[in-house]
């Protein structure tokens, strides 16, 4: 089976490196590339993609936003979320949001190829570290970090609040009312035990969720 792949990252050098690695394998063909979330969504609509590799942080839409919208456009599409952050920060939330797997930008070449082939076959790609985290979470052997207790939508809004997006801006991004976003904000603050957006941002920086 030839795997039609889309590669979306705002760093040209990252895309070039991934393109080189994947081009060495005859069963993988890169059908689309882009550096913004909107370019990714346009490719999902217009190209017959089997797998999309999407960066978590892009200039316009976050990878989480693109993931949600892309799955609405094409539910059968397998999506690998790519990030400079480790599985500990975002891996579980990415899987909860519907991704087929999470890739660190520090992964080895063979892991990238294996991940693409795994999700193209309809399975999830779960690294040994993520597998361990899932097992610990299921057996409740460890206390989960506060951000892992959030629902998919709460985490989506949390990710925007910590980089300084206002309630109005988030409402526009997600096509929600400002009142709905405010309700989610209050709920996630309560779940995490914080009072202000500044508390959220401080937590995000301390836990390497943002730089």
Residues 6+ apart with CB under 8 A from 196: 189
pLDDT tens for 139-181 read 454 466 788 778 778 888 998 999 999 999 999 988 889 999 9
pLDDT value of position 117 = 96
Domains and CATH numbers, the chain: 3-136 (3.40.50.2300), 146-206 (1.10.10.10)
The values of phi and psi at residue 6, to 5°, are -110, 135
pLDDT at residue 202 greater than cutoff 70? yes
pLDDT at residue 119 greater than cutoff 90? yes
Whether residue 150 contacts residue 194, with contact meaning beta carbons closer than 8 Å, is answered with no
> Which position has the token pair 């952050």?
85
User: Please, what's the b/e burial string for 179-205 (b: 16 or more CB within 10 A of its CB; e: otherwise)?
Assistant: eebbebbeebbeebebeebeebbebbe
Q: Whole-prediction pTM value? A: 0.70
Whether residue 150 contacts residue 119, with contact meaning beta carbons closer than 8 Å, is answered with no
């Amino acid at each position: 089976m030839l795997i039609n792949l889309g590669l979306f990252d705002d760093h040209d050098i990252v895309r070039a490196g991934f393109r080189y690695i994947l081009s060495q394998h005859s069963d993988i063909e890169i059908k689309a590339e882009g550096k913004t979330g909107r370019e990714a969504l346009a490719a999902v609509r217009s190209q017959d993609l089997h797998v999309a590799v999407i960066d978590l942080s892009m200039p316009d839409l976050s990878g989480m936003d693109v993931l949600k919208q892309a799955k609405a456009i094409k539910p059968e599409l397998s999506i690998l979320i790519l990030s400079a952050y480790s599985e500990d920060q975002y891996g579980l939330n990415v899987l909860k949001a519907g991704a087929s797997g999470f890739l660190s930008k520090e992964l080895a070449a063979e892991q990238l190829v294996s991940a693409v082939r795994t999700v193209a076959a309809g399975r999830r790609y779960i690294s040994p570290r993520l597998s361990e985290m899932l097992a610990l979470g299921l057996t409740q052997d460890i206390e989960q970090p506060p951000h892992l207790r959030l629902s998919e939508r709460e985490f989506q809004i949390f990710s925007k609040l910590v980089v300084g997006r206002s309630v109005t801006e988030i409402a526009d991004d997600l096509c929600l009312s400002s009142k709905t976003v405010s309700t989610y904000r209050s709920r996630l603050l309560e779940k995490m035990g914080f009072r202000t957006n500044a508390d959220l941002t401080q937590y995000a920086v301390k836990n390497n969720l943002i730089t």
